[in-house]
Amino acid sequence: MKDYSIEIDAYLNDTMSISEKQKFEEILLANPELLKELKLQKEMLVVYEDIEWLEGDKDVLKTDEAKKLKSFFESKEAANLKSTIQEVISENTSKSINKPFWFVGIAASIAILITVSLFVFKENSLNELYTQYIHLNEIPSLVTRGKDSNKLLENAQLLFEDQKYQKAVETFIKYHRKEDSIEPLSYIYMGVAYLELNEFDKALKQFEELSNTLQAKKINWYKAMTFLKQNKKDELIAVLQTILSDTNNYKYKEAQVLMQQVNK
């Protein structure tokens, strides 16, 4: 292979003219080895400049090492280690309560949020409590689970995450029309998207779709969220009571605290 070091330097330092650049890019496209070389040189610039962090290509997640690492991070053992570390940190910083924890289970962080909200939101309207409880990002991802994830679903989730709820809803509708077997989590996403758009009846309808799916246990909690946002106190209390009828119910603890707040 011809040595292109000078061209690579010029390209990375952006000292080529437009026509030189175009010409070099054509050569690059036809020459995968050269492209790799360019990539390495670019990585070296980032790493050794020592300012920015070099983010890797997600493709490496397919390597054996990556798979082993990932399964460790997902293991029960890693979760235990996290809590050990967290314990040490908490013991050393006894007083503060409102710091975000990356790794403590969702339940723990909610417990903390609740402590904080109990404290701060005494006079809250129900609608404001909704913001405290909905936790949009705790809905499991639709994308990373399946091996071949559905493009429509993926787009819908991205729109949802970008808070483009109207567009997200439209994409979920397309997905529901197109597919025979539906990912139940999509009903939660779609329902919450409707909640954010204040379309409560449509939201409830989505949550009802969860019955007979693996997510059925979550219906009541999301109904509660709907009534909370809608400021419908009686309906809210009724549904919270249903959740509180069994300690094994989804979000039992949260429901308990929420009930106290509502009854204040």
Partner 1 sequence: MSIIKENDRLQNLAEGNKEVVQELYSEVFPKITSHIKMNSGNQSDAEDIFQKALLQLIARYRVKAFVIESSFDAYLFSVCRNLWRRELNKRKRMVTNTSVVELSREADDMTMAVLEQEKWELFQEKLAQLSDNCKQLLKLFFEKVPYKDIVNKLGYNSDNVVRQRIFNCKSQLTKLIKNDSRYNQIKEL
Q: Which residues bind partner 1 (CB under 8 A)?
A: 5, 36, 40-41, 43-45, 47-50, 52-56, 58-63, 65-66, 68-70, 72-74, 78, 80-82, 84-89, 92-93, 96, 99-103, 106, 109, 135, 137-138, 140-141, 144-145
Instruction: Report how far residue 204's alpha carbon sits from residue 198's, in angstroms, rounded to the nearest whole number.
Output: 11
In the complex with partner 1, which residue's Cβ is closer, 138 or 234? 138
**Cβ at position 232, least distance to partner 1 in Å:** 27
**Helix, strand, or coil (residue 255):** helix
In the complex with partner 1, which residue's Cβ is closer, 27 or 78? 78
Amino acid, res. 105: G
**Cβ at position 45, least distance to partner 1 in Å:** 7
In the complex with partner 1, which residue's Cβ is closer, 41 or 155? 41
Burial profile 7-33: b = 16 or more Cβ within 10 angstroms, e = fewer: bbebbeeeebeeeeeeebeeebeeeee
In the complex with partner 1, which residue's Cβ is closer, 63 or 127? 63
Instruction: Report how far residue 158's alpha carbon sits from residue 145's, in angstroms, rounded to the nearest whole number.
Output: 15
Contacts of 171 (CB under 8 A, 6+ apart): 152, 155, 156, 159
Amino acid, res. 131: T
Q: Pull the structure tokens for residue 107.
A: 């339940």
**Cβ at position 224, least distance to partner 1 in Å:** 19
- To the nearest 10°, report the CA torsion of 229, 211, 137, 86: 110
Contacts of 235 (CB under 8 A, 6+ apart): 227
**Cβ at position 196, least distance to partner 1 in Å:** 14
**Cβ at position 69, least distance to partner 1 in Å:** 4
In the complex with partner 1, which residue's Cβ is closer, 81 or 173? 81
Instruction: Report how far residue 174's alpha carbon sits from residue 181's, in angstroms, rounded to the nearest whole number.
Output: 13
In the complex with partner 1, which residue's Cβ is closer, 90 or 256? 90
